[in-house]
Chain A
Amino acid sequence: MTKPFSFRQAGVGLRLEHLAKVLRDRPAAAWFEVHPENVLANPHAAEMLAEIAALYPLSIHSVGISAGSASGLDRTHLARVRGLVTRLDPVLLSGHLAWSTHDGEYLNDLLPLPYHAQSLDVICRHIAEIQDALGMVFHLENPSNYLGFAESTMTETAFLTEVVKRTGCRLLCDVSNIHVSAHNMGYDARRYVDELPGEAIGEFHLGGFELETEPGGTSVIIDTHARPIATEAWDLYAYAIHRFGPRPTLIEWDSALPAMDVLLAEAAKADRIAEQVLVDRHALAV
């Protein structure tokens, strides 16, 4: 990490629609996260991003690296991401505990994995290769779940803990995803947080989601990243900060994108919550 990186302030996701405005207005953002897949075939965006990289710390968050694909990593894609990493000199690198590509077909989604010995071997092998190829520590993000697999032999938190142990990667704890998965799969979100290996968490994510009623009268939360962060996610974020202490925190917003000011207001709210939790924790300790 060559750039000064003040992770005490939350960053925001930077999407194509905001690139030109960020260059022009230089908003008071602490740092930005970018999806390499959005700029690899967009030379204009890559050019603007290279200028932004000289002004702000950047995090590279790959949504297409497909670390959980049994058919192997797409090495051409990995090489292109490496090119971007070289060009942008990011301070963080992350991706998902998921798969997106099967046998060369890209499915444009973060698809779920069973948690067992075979999937553990696959993802550990791929994370090791990604870290070698990109020369950076990978932050593995917990997914939003809508269903589980009968074949799973371990919990998601046990699986993540084992991946960390085997690869030396760190965790990107998406607090909103924990709330989404806990609601959808019927488990306790705080207990999930308690089970995470806290020392391995290198980043938090917070994003918006939407509640839908299902045909049987149950409800499901869809991880849309198209809305402000809900109260339940802010509460869980406060709980995670209380438990693990502060980490670089990122506001995700991908569709129905609002003005940059709205994103920065969400980031400021994350900062206030983190600060309040730390003040409270300190008060309890003395």
Chain B
Amino acid sequence: MPSLFEMQAGFRAAIAGDAPAPLLGRLHAPASVAGRMEIYRRHHRESFRRHLRGRYPTLEWLLGTDRLLELADLTLQRSPPRAPSMAEYGAALIETLRSCGDDLPPYAADVGRMDWHLGCLSVSLEHQPMALVTLAGIDTLHLPRLRFTLQPGLVFIQSAWPVDELLRLRLQDILPDRFTFEPCETHLQLRGARGAFSLNRLEPDVFQFRAGLAAGCSLADAATRGTQAKPGFDLSTALATLFAEGLVIAHSGENVDV
């Protein structure tokens, strides 16, 4: 008799991979055992397909349902979920797009990234923003070392294609007769909370500054990233706008000794 672990390994293979014949001999039903196993196989395949379709609506609109489902099946084979919280599963499809997308548009992975992050941030929360005046009490010597915590529902995506235009087309549900889609360096800020989201294009310097802060850079390092993107980067305006938009929720680093 196989151990319970071996039996479950065989069952897993039968529903998520190629059914090994020995397991079928150990199962019984008053009907075709293979037919009954197919119920589990179908549920496994369809439930993940349904989930991934829900997470990548723009990609499905762009590539068609059949192609998206092929990519979903491949993702499930290569990177099955490791946790029972389905909302966390599906980012691996972006890697599938990157690695096997020879026949896909060059912007497919960026559209996938946009879909994935919009889904995540629309269920996040927006916290009480910090006012810029809060920084008034901090010694100016310490300002360069400050680090900011930004709203959790905030993501920055840089793409060589204006992928946000595809999202707008999908949401408007209008297919124009003719649509020219040309490469164009695009810097997107995605923001969302409690079921809603917004998507804005940023100037490259502001994008680098904000993305740097979001990645945990100090104020000085984020400002350097802004200046590298555009020599005329204006830190004080960028900082004021950041706070005015309510994007900062906490700060740290003013007490760290040099």
Nearest Cβ on chain A to B72's Cβ, whole angstroms: 13
Of B26, B87, B125, which is within 8 A of A150 by CB?
Answer: B26
Contacts of A104 in B (CB 8 A): 82
Nearest Cβ on chain A to B10's Cβ, whole angstroms: 10
The stretch of B35-43, B59-67, B202-210, B219-227 in contact with A is: B35-43
Contacts of B26 in A (CB 8 A): 149-151
CB pair B7–A74 under 8 Å, yes or no, is no
The stretch of A167-175, A211-219, A236-244 in contact with B is: A211-219
Q: Measured between alpha carbons, how far is A41 from B85 in the docked complex, in Å?
A: 7
Q: Does B99 contact A (CB under 8 A)?
A: no
Nearest Cβ on chain B to A72's Cβ, whole angstroms: 10
Contacts of B44 in A (CB 8 A): 107-109
CB pair A74–B152 under 8 Å, yes or no, is no
Q: Measured between alpha carbons, how far is A42 from B87 in the docked complex, in Å?
A: 7
Q: Measured between alpha carbons, how far is A248 from B25 in the docked complex, in Å?
A: 40
Q: Does A177 contact B (CB under 8 A)?
A: no
CB pair A47–B47 under 8 Å, yes or no, is no
Contacts of A108 in B (CB 8 A): 43-44, 47-48, 81, 84, 86
Nearest Cβ on chain B to A3's Cβ, whole angstroms: 25
Of A42, A106, A151, which is within 8 A of B123 by CB?
Answer: A42
Interface-centre pick from B37, B40, B47 (highest chain A CB count, 10 A): B40
Contacts of B258 in A (CB 8 A): none
Q: Size band of the A side of the interface?
A: 35 or more
Q: Does A86 contact B (CB under 8 A)?
A: no
Contacts of B32 in A (CB 8 A): 214-216
* Given A105-B82, A148-B28, A69 contacting B87 (CB threshold 8 A): no
Contacts of A69 in B (CB 8 A): 8
Closest chain B residue to A105, Cβ basis = B80
Q: Measured between alpha carbons, how far is A44 from B86 in the docked complex, in Å?
A: 16
Q: Does A176 contact B (CB under 8 A)?
A: no
Q: Does A185 contact B (CB under 8 A)?
A: yes
Q: Does B30 contact A (CB under 8 A)?
A: yes
Of A47, A122, A185, which is within 8 A of B4 by CB?
Answer: A122
Q: Does B1 contact A (CB under 8 A)?
A: yes
Q: Does A114 contact B (CB under 8 A)?
A: yes
Q: Measured between alpha carbons, how far is A41 from B32 in the docked complex, in Å?
A: 39
Residues of B bordering A, CB below 8 Å: 1-5, 7-9, 11-12, 15-16, 25-33, 35-37, 39-40, 43-44, 47-48, 80-89, 122-125, 152, 193-195
Given A65-B84, A105-B82, A151-B7, 9 extra CB contacts under 8 A: A38-B86, A99-B8, A102-B11, A106-B84, A109-B15, A118-B4, A147-B27, A147-B36, A149-B27
